[in-house]
A and B are shown apart, each in its own frame.
Chain A
Amino acid sequence: MNLDWLDAFLVSGLFYVMMVIGLALLLHLQLGLARIANFGVVGFWGIGMYAFGVLFVKVDWPFGEVWAFLISVVFGTVVAGLAGLLVGWLIADLDIDGVLVGTLGFATAVWILATTEQDLTGGALGMGGLGFPYDIGSVKANETLWLVILTILVAIILYYVSRVHKSPYGRLLISIGDNEPLARSLGKAPFQTKLWLFAVSSAGMGLLGAMYGVNERFLETGNLGIDITLAAMVGLVLGSTTRMWGAAVGVALTVGLFDVVIQFYLPLPREWYTQAIPVLREMVFGGVLIIVLLFRPYGVLGDMRRDKLMRRMHGG
């Protein structure tokens, strides 16, 4: 296949955007429906990435590479899901401050673990040895195929989210987020419902983390900072926390702008990209978060549900 027309950096930019869309969709289930503000997205993503990477690289697999790879991916996903179960169990009955501290604390714990457990993770120096479970010719071709696989995964997540929106489970999540005392008498334990939500969405985040690790072929503790959480959160909040397409639109407008449009389509001096742009990016993300929350708390798409409320209250 001739991929000359495709810029390798563009592929990795698109990979990043697509991955953040996936994370924002999962965060949407937690924040938009159940109103649980998870500030530790990077922790679940990172634990999935590291659990996958460590198992794949450190174990002497007696059978083929592909099987080792698949088993490791499943392992990363399951470990992230279990972490979600544990964190969910800790925070499910806490108020917003407790959830903030608990989820941020978890993300920090993952970072500390990855940094200090050098024998396993390579610590701050990082760990190589990861790769695609296939080889279809060039690096660029491999990466492009991996982007396609990620896109399929994100499409599946989108489909799952759309199913949740229409299902009794989704209505239950909204009920719990909206009025938990009343939701207690609906016949399903809110605590368990939240645990399940956390386990499933965290597993999804972990899977995305594992896929990212493969794409980079390298695990770095530098990835475990606030960046990923901020990107998913800003995108989602900008789009709309409560609407399914909010995650995709918001992430495209923020991460897409910086990591694809500005990176590839603006004729800016080269040195800007290493110095000014990353700083500007974080500043803009932080600023966007503040401005959106102040002036348009339900995002650019608005909250269809709440907009109707406003129109009616103001006689529109």
Chain B
Amino acid sequence: MFEAKGIRSGYSGVTVIRDVDLSVEREVFAVLGANGAGKTTLLATLARLIPLMGGEIWFNGRDVTKLRPWETAALGLAYVPQEKGIFADLTVLENLQVGAMIGTRSREERVDEIIELFPDLGELRTQMAGTLSGGESRMLACGRALMQDPKILLLDEPTAGLSPIYVDVFFEKIREIHKTRDVTIVLAEQNAAKALEIADRVMVLNLGEASEVLDAAELTTEKLKEGYRI
């Protein structure tokens, strides 16, 4: 469904992602890696926010290599960045509403669904998003992306900096989103243990190079530590 072939990308001359292949289909796919491994760069490239230096990206049988971010978004790809995933000058409700520019279902219906998924957001409806706590803004960023009714959701370390209890709740939500909404999820994560709990398959990035794709069921954090030093 979503496929990247030999992609390379980076920033003004610095190549960060080197010849990464990736193919995901109706699953939770985790991209693991230490700080600076290139997870954020990879996801931003897949969302077409960073230009490609090489390779191709295909989405639902369509070559999206040359598309702009709003075009891939319209095709059903939603992206939750690691930072600044919300619009601080809009209220919580308005943040959700701007997510509904894609798709045909009624805005209200979608908002209700998101609030059912993240009840806390319901209470915060009228609050300015810039005033939310870290965990609340993570939920909002995720909710906003889901408002787009995506077929694939790219999540960049959605739980970084959250308290352990929040982390657990959040990972459960991710699993739930995948199951109930039939959304393919690509999750960039440093927390290998949590990622293994919910992922179907795993890939490890190291200095921008990808490992082979591993089956999460056959993996343990120990094996990851030994084999991939994470």
By a beta-carbon cutoff of 8 Å, the part of chain A in contact with chain B is 168, 171-172, 174-175, 177-179, 181-190, 242, 305-306, 308-309, 312-313
- Nearest B residue (CB) for A169: B101
A residues less than 8 Å from B131 (CB atoms): 308-309, 312-313
Given A171-B97, A172-B98, A309-B131, decide whether A185 and B79 contact each other with a Cβ distance below 8 A: yes
B47 x A185 contact (CB < 8 A): yes
Q: Are B49 and A305 in contact (CB under 8 A)?
A: no
Closest to B145 in A: A185
Contacting pair A186 B85 (CB below 8 A): no
Q: Are B90 and A178 in contact (CB under 8 A)?
A: yes
CB < 8 Å: which of B49, B88, B89, B128 contacts A185? B49
Pairs A-B, 9 closest by C-beta atoms: A187-B102, A178-B89, A184-B69, A187-B73, A185-B73, A178-B87, A187-B101, A185-B69, A187-B74
CA distance A312 to B98 in the complex (A): 24
Enumerate chain B residues within 8 angstroms of A182, measured Cβ to Cβ.
81, 84-87
Nearest CB in chain B: distance from A182 CB, A? 6
User: Considering the chains assembled together, what is the distance between the CA atoms of A179 and B130 in angstroms?
Assistant: 12
Given contacts A189-B70, A313-B131, 20 further A-B contacts (CB under 8 A): A168-B97, A168-B100, A168-B101, A171-B90, A171-B97, A171-B98, A172-B98, A174-B94, A179-B84, A182-B81, A182-B86, A182-B87, A183-B87, A186-B70, A186-B98, A186-B99, A189-B68, A190-B70, A309-B130, A312-B131
Identify the closest chain A residue to B130 (Cβ). Answer: A309
Chain B residue contacts of A184, Cβ below 8 A: 49, 68-70
A14 to B80 CA separation, bound complex (whole angstroms): 50
User: Which residues from chain A contact B130 at a C-beta distance below 8 Å?
Assistant: 309
Q: Which of B70, B78, B128 sits near A305, CB closer than 8 Å? A: B128
State which residues 159-174 of B face A: CB under 8 Å: none
- Separation in Å of the A184 CB from the closest CB of chain B? 4
The B58-99 residues at the A interface (CB cut-off 8 A) are: 68-70, 72-74, 78-79, 81, 84-91, 94, 97-99
Q: Which residues on the B side are within 8 Å of A308 (C-beta)?
A: 127-128, 131
7 contacts between A and B (CB under 8 A): A171-B90, A175-B98, A179-B86, A181-B49, A184-B69, A187-B70, A313-B131
- Report how far A185 CA is from B73 CA in the complex, Å: 6
Chain A residues within 8 Å of B90, by CB: 171, 174-175, 178
- For A242, give the chain B residue with the smallest CB separation: B89
Q: Name the B residues within 8 Å of A313 (CB-CB).
A: 131
| B41 CB within 8 Å of chain A | no
Give the distance in Å from the alpha carbon of A229 to the alpha carbon of B100 in the complex.
Answer: 36
Q: How far is the CA of A185 from the CA of B90 in the complex (A)?
A: 16
Q: A168's contact among B70, B72, B91, B98, by CB below 8 Å, is which?
A: B98
CB < 8 Å neighbour of B102 from A186, A305, A306: A186
Contact B73 A177 (CB under 8 A): no
Q: Closest B residue to A310 by CB, please name it.
A: B131
Q: Could you mark each residue 114-132 of chain B with 1 if its beta carbon is under 8 Å from any beta carbon of chain A, else 0?
A: 0000000000000110110
* Complex: chain B residue closest to A192, CB-CB: B70
Residues of B within 8 A of A181 (CB): 49, 81, 84
CA distance A190 to B127 in the complex (A): 25
B148 close to A (CB within 8 Å): yes
Q: Measured between alpha carbons, how far is A312 from B124 in the docked complex, in Å? A: 13
A188 interface neighbour in B70, B81, B91, B97, Cβ under 8 Å = B70
CA distance A308 to B91 in the complex (A): 11
Q: In the assembly, what is the distance between CA of A171 and CA of B94, in Å?
A: 7
State the Cβ distance, A47 to closest chain B Cβ, in Å. Answer: 31
Closest to B91 in A: A305
Q: A178 contacts B88, CB within 8 Å?
A: yes
Residue numbers in B under 8 Å from A177 (CB-CB): 89
Distance in Å: Cβ of A240 to nearest Cβ of chain B: 13
Q: Which residues of B contact A179 (CB under 8 A)?
A: 84, 86-88
- Cβ distance B83 to chain A, nearest Cβ, rounded Å: 10
Bound CA span A177–B98, Å: 13
Considering only CB atoms, which chain B residue lies closest to A168 in the complex? B101
Query: Closest Cβ of chain A: how far from B80's Cβ, in Å?
Result: 9
Highest count of chain B CB atoms <10 Å: which of A168, A178, A183, A185 = A185
Known: A182-B85, A185-B49, A185-B78. A309 touches B73 (CB 8 A): no
Cα distance A179–B94 in the bound complex, in angstroms = 14
**Using Cβ atoms and an 8 Å threshold, which residues of chain A touch B72?**
185
A residues less than 8 Å from B128 (CB atoms): 305-306, 308-309
Please, how many angstroms separate the alpha-carbon atoms of A30 and B100 in the complex?
Answer: 23
Set of chain B residues within 8 Å of A185, measured between Cβ atoms? 47, 49, 69-70, 72-73, 78-79
Contacts of A171 in B (CB 8 A): 90, 94, 97-98
CA distance A260 to B3 in the complex (A): 67
**CB-nearest residue of chain A to B141:** A182
Specify the chain B residue showing the minimal Cβ separation from A177. Answer: B89
A residues in contact with B148, CB < 8 Å: 186-187
Q: What are the residues of chain B within 8 A of A312 when measuring CB–CB?
A: 127, 131
Task: Return B120 CB to nearest CB of chain A, in Å.
Answer: 16
